[in-house]
């Protein structure tokens, strides 16, 4: 399935995430403003009805793309190959970013992304495995990495549900929605000592991944339209439940934001042409994970040290330049070589298509 517009979508997602954190910082933390925020607010918040600060827009787009692009691999690849390939892509750069975040906190350069003033040795170790998010209160040395818990949950779920993905694939997002609702209800109605609040955040975000999966199943004609509608409605119910019980953290426009994101993915992912394949979009898309990991590590210090000399627009531009340089370093120095090294040593060679077809024929989906 050729999706030339994916680079454009990843670029939009990156810009939305960067804008969201810049807007939060300038408005909520510093109590100032910026002319770009005023324009975006009038056009996209007041006009288009999206969340304030475009909260969740970029995250939802990244998650929807994950469901769209990863489902095919989850169906075709055997579990070991699938998980090693995903781990090689995500873990090395994540560990380096966490290590840098811990060092910056302990050197007094950056603060925590949660209420603590510092991070203990145990909390530091847990952070390398996303364990800090499951503590009460949360310990977040690098706040943006919470989305990796959503992605990893989706990967593990796809592996566990692989027989269903290969036979009755639409059951996977429907069953996933049911599990998400049960998690939300568990945290809502059980006594506080027995709850795990972070799981609600994961459950409230999973529908965006399942929507991408549903789009893939529709395009692959792996199920009927009737079941696609059932799967879509199941995700809507999860989003309604999370909104009604205030599980989301920045307003009540999440359903509409997710609808807009899903429509953009459907409409834009197949756009082709010179712009969709431009070098700028390619660079941003391929570095999108690195940008996501490092941007909050450099945003606040770069801005506060340049705004007096360059003004707000100049300070934001300085941040973008530094973020691009650090992301390039992480991408070229860690993400790509580590993924190649791990893949070369841990991934078995792919069998030929003919052997695969003879040894393990793909079952035709029945739902």
Residue whose C-alpha is closest to residue 324's, from 345, 294, 349: 294
Q: Which of 7, 11, 15 shows the shortest CA–CA distance to 69?
A: 7
CB–CB of 288/13 below 8 Å?
A: yes
225: number of CA atoms within 13 Å, CB side?
0
Cα separation of 228 and 217, whole Å? 8
Under 8 Å between Cβ of 92 and 342: yes
Query: Which residue, 233, 111, 125, is CA-closest to 174?
Result: 233
- Tell the residue number behind the tokens 């827009």, with chain if given: 57
DSSP string, 122-166: HHHHHHTTTGGGGSSS---SSGGGHHHHHHHHHHHHHHHTHHHHH
CA distance 281 to 284: 5
Instruction: Give Cα 132 to chain centroid, integer Å.
Output: 18
pLDDT at 252: 80
User: CA nearest 365: which of 177, 204, 162?
Assistant: 162
pLDDT per residue, tens digit, the chain (367 aa), is 789 999 999 999 999 999 999 999 999 999 999 999 999 999 999 999 999 999 999 999 999 999 999 999 999 999 999 999 999 999 999 999 999 999 999 999 999 999 899 999 999 999 999 999 999 999 999 999 999 999 999 999 999 999 999 999 999 999 999 999 999 999 999 998 899 999 999 999 999 999 999 999 999 999 999 999 999 999 999 999 999 999 988 778 899 999 999 999 999 999 998 998 999 999 999 999 999 999 999 999 999 999 999 999 999 999 999 999 999 999 999 999 999 999 999 886 766 555 433 333 333 333 3
Q: What is the pLDDT of residue 128?
A: 98
Q: How far apart are CA 116 and CA 270, in angstroms?
A: 45
Query: Which 8-state DSSP code applies to residue 190?
Result: S
How much of the chain exceeds pLDDT 70, in percent? 94
- Average pLDDT taken over every residue of the chain: 92
Query: Tokens 């439940």 label which residue?
Result: 241
pLDDT attached to residue 355: 42
Say how far residue 341 (Cα) sits from the centre of its chain: 24
Per-position DSSP letters for 207-239, written without gaps between them: HHHHHHHHHHHHHTT-S-HHHHHHHHHHHHHHH
Per-residue model confidence (pLDDT) at position 363: 37
What is the model's pLDDT at position 259? 96
Query: In the prediction, which pLDDT does 250 show?
Result: 76
pTM above 0.75, yes or no: yes
DSSP class of residue 327 equals H
Spell out the residues 6+ positions from residue 281 whose beta carbon is closer than 8 angstroms to its own.
Answer: 7, 8, 10, 11, 275
Cα first-last separation, the chain: 21
């Amino acid at each position: 399935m050729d999706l030339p517009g994916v680079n454009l979508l990843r670029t939009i997602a990156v810009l939305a995430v960067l804008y969201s954190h810049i807007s939060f910082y300038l408005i909520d933390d510093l109590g100032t403003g910026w002319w770009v925020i005023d324009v975006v607010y009038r056009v996209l918040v007041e006009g288009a009805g999206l969340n304030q600060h475009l909260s969740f827009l970029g995250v939802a787009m990244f998650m929807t793309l994950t469901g769209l692009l990863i489902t095919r691999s989850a169906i075709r690849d055997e579990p070991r190959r699938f998980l090693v390939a995903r781990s090689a892509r995500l873990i090395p750069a994540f560990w380096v970013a966490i290590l840098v975040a811990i060092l910056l906190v302990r050197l007094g350069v950056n603060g925590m992304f949660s209420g603590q003033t510092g991070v203990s040795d145990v909390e530091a170790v847990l952070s390398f495995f996303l364990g800090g998010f499951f503590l009460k209160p949360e310990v977040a040395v690098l706040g943006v990495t919470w989305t990796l818990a959503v992605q990893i949950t989706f990967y593990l779920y796809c592996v566990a549900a692989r027989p269903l993905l290969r036979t009755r694939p639409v059951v996977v997002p429907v069953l996933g929605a049911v599990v998400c609702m049960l998690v939300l209800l568990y945290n809502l109605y059980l006594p506080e000592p027995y709850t795990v609040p972070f799981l609600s955040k994961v459950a409230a975000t999973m529908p965006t991944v399942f929507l991408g999966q549903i789009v893939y199943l529709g395009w692959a004609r792996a199920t009927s339209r009737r079941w696609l509608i059932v799967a879509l409605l199941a995700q809507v119910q999860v989003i309604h439940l999370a909104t009604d019980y205030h599980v989301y953290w920045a307003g009540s426009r999440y359903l509409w934001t997710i609808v807009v994101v899903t429509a953009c993915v459907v409409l834009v992912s197949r756009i082709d042409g010179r712009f969709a394949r431009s070098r700028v979009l390619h660079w941003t898309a391929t570095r999108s994970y690195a940008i996501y990991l490092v941007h909050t590590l450099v945003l606040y210090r770069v801005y506060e040290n340049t705004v007096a000399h360059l003004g707000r627009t100049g300070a934001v531009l300085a941040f973008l330049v530094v973020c691009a340089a650090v992301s390039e370093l992480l991408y070229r120095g860690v993400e790509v070589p580590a993924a190649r090294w791990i893949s070369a040593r841990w991934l078995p060679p792919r069998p030929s298509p003919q052997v695969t077809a003879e040894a393990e024929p793909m079952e035709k989906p029945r739902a």
